[in-house]
C-alpha cells in the first residue's frame, strides 16, 4: 500500500508518500518556516510562499503535493497526532467524533493537538475520498501500569484535570524495540528492553515483554531526560522559587523550560549535540558539562528501568544522537558491566546505520545484555500502522464468539513441593475437570501466607507442573501484602515469593506469585480462523446487557491442547459485572473498539 504520512507541527508540515511493503519513500514534501518565511521543498527544488494564515499555507502545500502525487496511487493518509489521552490506545480511522476528541485533548497538548488537527482537516478537504488514520505518540504507553502513570497529587484534582503520565515518542519506541527483537532473532514478548530515543526531543522506555511499563516523558513532553531545548526533570519547587525571585510569568516559565533550557541552556551556544561535542573537545567547560549532564541523566534512567523490570536483555539507542554519536553512546554505556552490559568500543565507533542496515550491535560478544543502535523510522511506522488499519476496516466480523471464564485464585504446584506440603509420595486427587482438556481442580488446597495476611484454602490445579506458580488478583495482592507483576502463565522469573502451608509442612517459595495477564486459550485451528498467532495481543468486546466493555491487552495463547476460552480474574470479572455464560468478540476494527464502549 502507498500511504501518505503527514506530520503537521508548529512551524512545519512534513509529508512523505511511503510504500509500506518495500519501506521506500516515493515522494517527500516539506513546508518549513511557516511563521516567518514559508518555503516548500519537494523533489530537490524549493520555492517561497507569501506569508499568510497557517490554514492557507497548509492548503497550498497539500495542493502542490496533490499535483506531484498524481503518478502514484494513494491508498490512505496517516496523520501523526501527539496526544491521544486516555481515549486512544491504537490508530483510528478519523471520523467526526474522533476529530472532536482530538480537539478536546488540546487541553493536554495545547501546542500540538490543534496543529495536528488543522493538518487533518486540511488534508481531509484535499483528499476527501481517502481513509484518514490518526496515529498517536502516546498510544504505545497506554500499558503503563497505574503505579508508573500516577503522580503523587491529590486524586480528585488529578482526575478532574486528566493529570497523569502519558508518555510520548511511542511510535519510535515501539518501532525500534521490534527491530531490535528481530535482530536478536527473538520474540519481543520474550524480552526486556530499554529504548533510548535521543533526538532533539529525548525520552526512554522500559519495555517488558513487549509492553511499555515505564517511560521518561510524562503528562507533557517536558519530563525526563535533558533535551535540545527542554530541561527534563527539575525540582518543581524551582518554579515556585523562580516565579518570585526572577519575576517570571507563566509564559516566561514555559519559554524557559521548553525553549531555553536543556543542551541549549547548559551550553549557552546550541541545542545541537554536534556543536556541543565539537566545542567540548576544544575546551569549552559549559559544553563539557552539558554532555556530562545529558549522559548522566540517561544512565540514571537505565539503572532505574533495569530495576523496574528486574533485569534487561537489550539497551537500544536511537534518534539523531543515539544513532549517530559514538561519543554519547560511549558515555552512557560504559561502566555498565555490573548489570551485564559490556560495550565494545571498536564496534561502537564503527556503527553506521542505513535504511538497509538499520541495526548495529556494539556490545562485546560475551555481553549478556545487548547494546544496539537502531535507526528509527516514525514515518514508515505510521504508514504501516495506517495500512494495517485500512486493511482491517475492510473486514467484516463474522467470527464466532469467545466464551469468557472467570478464574479464581489458584496454585500450580511441582511434585516436589506437593510432597513437602502433603507428605512423601502424595498424588493430587481430582475434584472436577476444568474446561481446558487434561486440567483439573484438585481436592487439595493450601494456605498462602504473605507479609500481611493469609489466604486460606487456595485450590491447587492439576496436573503437577515443572514450576510452582500462584495466580492471585489485585485485591488478593493487597490483602496478602505482596506486589505481584502481571504476567502470562509460566513467566515467574523475578516475581515475588511467599510461604505456602499444607497439612504436612510448609514451603517458602522464592518466586512464583503473579497476577495473571488476561488471556485467551485457543487451538491452532481457532488461531487460523481468528487470524492471530500465539502471543498476539488483541482486544475483546463483551456485550453485557446495556453496556459493552472492551478489554484491551488480551494475550493469545495457542496450543493443540487448549479449548477456546478467555480467562479474566475475579477483580476484572467483578469490575465488568460479568456473569456466567458471558461471550466476547474479537475486535477487528478500531471503530468497534473505541468511543462507543467503556475500555478496561
Ligand atoms: P527530532 O527529535 O527532531 O526528530 P532527530 O532525531 O533528527 O530530531 O535528532 C536531531 C538531533 O540529533 C540534532 O539536534 C543533533 O543534536 C543530533 N545529532 C545528529 N547527528 C549527530 C551526530 N553525528 N553527533 C551528535 N549528535 C547528532
DSSP 513-537: EEEEPPEEEE-HHHHHHHT--TT-E
**According to the model, what pLDDT value does residue 456 have?**
96
**According to the model, what pLDDT value does residue 329 have?**
98
Q: No. of H helices and E strands in the chain?
A: 20, 30
DSSP designation for 337: G
Q: Do the Cβ atoms of 335 and 213 come closer than 8 Å?
A: no
Give 292-320 pLDDT, tens digit per residue. 999 999 999 999 999 999 999 999 999 99
Question: How remote is the CA of residue 264 from the centroid of ligand 1, in Å?
Answer: 13
- On the 0-12 / 13-18 / 19+ scale of CB atoms within 10 A, 70 is exposed
Helix extents (H) in 105-229: 113-126, 146-149, 155-161, 170-184
Residue 591 in this model has a pLDDT that exceeds 80: no
Average per-residue pLDDT for the chain: 92
Q: To test ligand 1's pocket by mutation, which of 200, 322, 352 has the most ligand atoms within 8 angstroms of CB?
A: 200
Distance CA 222, CA 229 (A): 10
Percent of the chain with pLDDT over 70: 97
Question: How remote is the CA of residue 21 from the centroid of ligand 1, in Å?
Answer: 27
- Out of 117, 136, 155, a domain closes at 136
Say yes or no: 366 and 414 in one domain: no
Q: How many beta carbons lie within 10 A of that of residue 19, not counting itself?
A: 16
Grid cell at residue 91: 490508530
CA angle 98, 103, 107 (to 5 degrees): 135
Q: Which of 213, 181, 221, 219 is nearest to 197 (CA)?
A: 221
Distance CA 567, CA 489 (A): 11
In which band, very low, low, confident or very high, does the pLDDT at 597 lie, cut at 50, 70 and 90? very low
Distance CA 343, CA 365 (A): 9
Q: To test ligand 1's pocket by mutation, which of 224, 320, 326 has the most ligand atoms within 8 angstroms of CB?
A: 320
Closest atom of ligand 1 to 202 CA is 2
Burial 75-104 (b: 16+ CB within 10 A, else e): bbbbbbbbbbbebbbbbbbbeeebbebbee
Task: Specify the residue with its C-alpha closest to ligand 1, atom 24.
Answer: 325
Residue 153 within a domain = no
Helix extents (H) in 282-318: 285-309
Task: Specify the residue with its C-alpha closest to ligand 1, atom 23.
Answer: 324
Residue 152 within a domain = no
Element (H, E) at 475: helix 474-480
Q: To test ligand 1's pocket by mutation, which of 274, 331, 374, 379 has the most ligand atoms within 8 angstroms of CB?
A: 274
Say yes or no: 110 and 243 in one domain: no
Question: How remote is the CA of residue 328 from the centroid of ligand 1, in Å?
Answer: 11
- Residues known to be catalytic: 137
Say yes or no: 409 and 365 in one domain: no
Residue 593 in this model has a pLDDT that exceeds 60: no
- The span from the first CA to the last CA of the chain, in angstroms, equals 32
Residues 6 or more apart whose CB falls under 8 angstroms from that of 137 comprise 80, 81, 82, 83, 84, 168, 169, 170, 171
Grid cell at residue 108: 493536554
DSSP designation for 363: B
**According to the model, what pLDDT value does residue 68 have?**
86
Say yes or no: 179 and 229 in one domain: yes
**327 by DSSP, 3-state: which?**
helix
Q: How many beta carbons lie within 10 A of that of residue 531, not counting itself?
A: 12
> How far lies 76's CA from each of 73, 529, 537, 587, in Å?
9, 27, 25, 22
Tell me what the mean pLDDT of segment 393-416 comes to: 86
Grid cell at residue 153: 497529587
Closest atom of ligand 1 to 201 CA is 2
Residue 419 within a domain = yes
DSSP 195-212: EEEESSSEEEEEEETTEE
Q: Do the Cβ atoms of 489 and 516 come closer than 8 Å?
A: yes
Distance CA 285, CA 200 (A): 22
Closest atom of ligand 1 to 277 CA is 25
- Out of 136, 158, 178, a domain closes at 136
Specify the number of domains making up the chain.
Answer: 3
Residues 6 or more apart whose CB falls under 8 angstroms from that of 70 comprise none
Give 182-202 pLDDT, tens digit per residue. 999 999 989 999 999 999 999
Say yes or no: 258 and 220 in one domain: yes
Lowest mean pLDDT among 60-64, 166-170, 215-219, 395-399: 395-399
Question: How remote is the CA of residue 271 from the centroid of ligand 1, in Å?
Answer: 9
Strand partners, 31: 13, 40
**117 by DSSP, 3-state: which?**
helix
In which band, very low, low, confident or very high, does the pLDDT at 596 lie, cut at 50, 70 and 90? very low
- On the 0-12 / 13-18 / 19+ scale of CB atoms within 10 A, 288 is middle
Residue 550 in this model has a pLDDT that exceeds 50: yes
Whether omega before 451 lies within 30 degrees of 0, making that bond cis, reads no
Say yes or no: 429 and 461 in one domain: yes
Say yes or no: 193 and 285 in one domain: yes
Question: How remote is the CA of residue 274 from the centroid of ligand 1, in Å?
Answer: 8
Residue 598 in this model has a pLDDT that exceeds 70: no
Question: How remote is the CA of residue 294 from the centroid of ligand 1, in Å?
Answer: 13
Q: To test ligand 1's pocket by mutation, which of 14, 199, 290, 349 has the most ligand atoms within 8 angstroms of CB?
A: 199
Give 94-128 pLDDT, tens digit per residue. 999 999 999 999 988 888 899 999 999 999 999 99
Say yes or no: 183 and 289 in one domain: yes
Q: Do the Cβ atoms of 78 and 6 come closer than 8 Å?
A: yes
Its domain, for residue 121, covers: 2-136
- Out of 381, 407, 440, a domain closes at 381
Q: Do the Cβ atoms of 552 and 592 come closer than 8 Å?
A: no
**256 by DSSP, 3-state: which?**
helix
Closest atom of ligand 1 to 200 CA is 2
Say yes or no: 423 and 559 in one domain: yes
Ligand 1: lining residues by beta carbon, under 6 Å: 199-201, 228, 272-274, 277, 319-321, 324-325
CATH at residue 194: 3.30.420.40
**According to the model, what pLDDT value does residue 592 have?**
54
Tell me what the mean pLDDT of segment 566-572 comes to: 88
Distance CA 187, CA 384 (A): 19
Task: Specify the residue with its C-alpha closest to ligand 1, atom 13.
Answer: 272
Task: Specify the residue with its C-alpha closest to ligand 1, atom 3.
Answer: 200
Tell me what the mean pLDDT of segment 152-172 comes to: 96
Residues 6 or more apart whose CB falls under 8 angstroms from that of 586 comprise 397, 399, 402, 530, 532, 538, 539, 540
Residue 495 within a domain = yes
Residue 155 within a domain = no
Residue 69 within a domain = yes
Distance CA 350, CA 322 (A): 14
Residue 290 within a domain = yes
Task: Specify the residue with its C-alpha closest to ligand 1, atom 7.
Answer: 320
Distance CA 92, CA 590 (A): 5
Whole-prediction pTM = 0.81
Lowest mean pLDDT among 67-76, 337-346, 438-447, 457-466: 67-76
Say yes or no: 79 and 175 in one domain: no
Grid cell at residue 399: 467470527
Residue 71 in this model has a pLDDT that exceeds 90: no
Q: How many beta carbons lie within 10 A of that of residue 187, not counting itself?
A: 13
**147 by DSSP, 3-state: which?**
helix
Say yes or no: 369 and 406 in one domain: no
Q: Do the Cβ atoms of 560 and 596 come closer than 8 Å?
A: no
Residue 161 within a domain = no
Question: How remote is the CA of residue 486 from the centroid of ligand 1, in Å?
Answer: 36
Q: Do the Cβ atoms of 480 and 498 come closer than 8 Å?
A: yes
Say yes or no: 212 and 361 in one domain: yes
Parallel, antiparallel, or unpaired for β 513-516 and 92-93?
unpaired
In which band, very low, low, confident or very high, does the pLDDT at 131 lie, cut at 50, 70 and 90? very high
Question: How remote is the CA of residue 325 from the centroid of ligand 1, in Å?
Answer: 9
Amino acid at each position: 500500500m502507498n500511504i501518505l504520512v503527514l506530520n503537521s507541527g508548529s512551524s512545519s508540515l512534513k509529508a512523505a508518500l511511503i510504500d509500506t511493503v518495500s519501506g521506500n519513500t516515493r515522494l517527500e514534501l516539506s513546508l518549513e518556516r511557516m511563521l516567518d518565511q514559508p518555503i516548500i521543498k519537494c523533489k530537490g527544488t524549493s520555492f517561497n510562499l507569501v506569508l499568510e494564515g497557517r490554514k492557507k499555507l497548509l492548503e497550498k502545500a497539500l495542493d502542490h503535493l496533490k499535483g506531484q502525487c498524481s503518478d502514484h496511487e494513494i491508498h490512505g493518509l496517516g496523520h501523526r497526532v501527539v496526544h491521544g489521552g486516555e481515549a486512544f490506545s491504537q490508530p483510528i480511522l478519523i471520523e467526526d467524533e474522533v476529530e472532536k476528541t482530538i480537539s478536546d485533548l488540546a487541553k493536554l497538548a495545547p501546542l500540538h493537538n490543534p496543529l495536528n488537527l488543522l493538518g487533518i482537516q486540511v488534508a481531509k478537504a484535499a483528499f476527501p475520498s481517502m481513509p484518514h488514520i490518526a496515529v498517536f505518540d502516546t498510544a504505545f504507553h497506554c500499558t503503563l501500569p497505574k503505579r508508573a502513570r500516577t503522580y503523587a497529587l491529590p486524586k480528585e484534582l488529578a482526575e478532574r484535570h486528566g493529570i497523569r503520565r502519558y508518555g510520548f515518542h511511542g511510535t519510535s519506541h515501539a518501532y525500534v524495540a521490534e527491530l531490535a527483537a528481530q535482530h536478536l532473532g527473538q520474540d519481543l514478548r520474550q524480552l526486556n528492553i530499554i529504548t533510548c530515543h535521543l533526538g532533539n526531543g529525548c525520552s526512554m522506555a522500559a519495555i517488558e515483554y513487549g509492553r511499555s511499563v515505564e517511560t521518561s516523558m510524562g503528562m507533557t513532553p517536558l519530563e525526563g531526560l535533558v533535551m535540545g531545548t527542554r530541561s527534563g526533570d527539575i525540582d518543581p519547587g524551582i518554579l515556585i522559587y523562580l516565579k518570585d525571585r526572577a519575576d517570571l510569568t507563566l509564559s516566561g516559565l514555559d519559554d524557559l523550560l521548553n525553549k531555553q533550557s536543556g543542551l541549549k541552556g547548559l551550553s549557552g551556544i546550541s541545542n545541537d549535540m554536534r556543536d556541543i561535542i565539537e566545542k567540548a573537545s576544544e575546551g569549552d567547560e559549559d559544553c563539557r558539562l552539558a554532555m556530562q549532564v545529558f549522559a548522566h541523566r540517561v544512565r540514571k534512567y537505565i539503572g532505574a528501568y533495569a530495576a523496574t523490570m528486574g533485569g534487561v536483555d537489550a539497551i537500544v539507542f536511537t534518534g539523531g544522537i543515539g544513532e549517530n554519536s559514538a561519543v554519547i553512546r560511549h558515555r552512557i554505556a560504559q561502566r555498565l558491566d555490573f548489570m551485564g552490559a559490556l560495550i565494545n568500543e571498536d564496534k561502537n565507533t564503527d556503527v553506521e546505520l542505513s535504511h538497509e542496515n538499520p541495526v548495529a550491535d556494539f556490545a562485546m560478544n560475551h555481553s549478556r545484555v545487548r547494546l544496539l543502535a537502531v535507526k528509527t523510522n516514525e514515518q514508515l511506522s505510521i504508514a504501516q500502522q495506517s495500512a494495517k488499519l485500512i486493511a482491517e476496516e475492510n473486514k467484516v466480523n463474522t467470527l464466532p464468539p469467545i466464551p469468557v471464564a472467570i478464574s479464581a485464585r489458584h496454585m500450580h504446584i511441582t511434585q516436589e513441593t506437593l510432597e513437602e506440603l502433603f507428605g512423601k509420595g502424595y498424588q493430587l486427587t481430582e475434584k472436577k475437570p476444568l474446561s481446558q482438556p487434561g486440567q483439573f481442580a484438585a481436592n487439595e488446597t493450601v494456605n498462602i501466607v504473605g507479609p500481611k495476611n493469609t489466604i486460606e484454602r487456595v485450590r491447587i490445579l492439576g496436573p503437577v507442573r515443572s514450576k510452582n506458580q500462584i495466580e492471585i488478583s489485585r485485591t488478593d495482592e493487597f490483602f496478602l501484602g505482596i506486589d505481584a507483576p502481571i504476567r502470562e502463565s509460566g513467566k515467574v522469573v523475578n516475581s515475588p515469593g511467599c510461604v505456602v502451608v499444607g497439612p504436612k509442612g510448609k514451603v517458602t517459595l522464592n518466586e512464583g506469585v503473579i497476577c495473571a495477564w488476561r488471556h485467551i486459550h485457543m487451538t491452532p485451528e481457532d488461531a487460523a480462523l481468528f487470524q492471530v498467532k500465539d502471543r498476539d495481543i488483541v482486544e475483546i468486546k463483551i456485550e453485557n446487557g446495556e453496556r459493552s466493555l472492551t478489554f484491551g491487552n488480551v494475550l493469545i495463547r495457542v496450543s493443540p491442547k487448549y479449548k477456546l476460552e478467555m480467562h479474566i480474574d475475579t477483580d476484572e470479572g467483578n469490575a465488568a459485572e460479568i456473569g456466567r455464560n458471558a461471550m466476547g468478540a474479537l475486535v477487528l476494527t478500531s471503530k468497534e473498539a473505541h468511543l462507543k464502549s467503556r475500555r478496561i
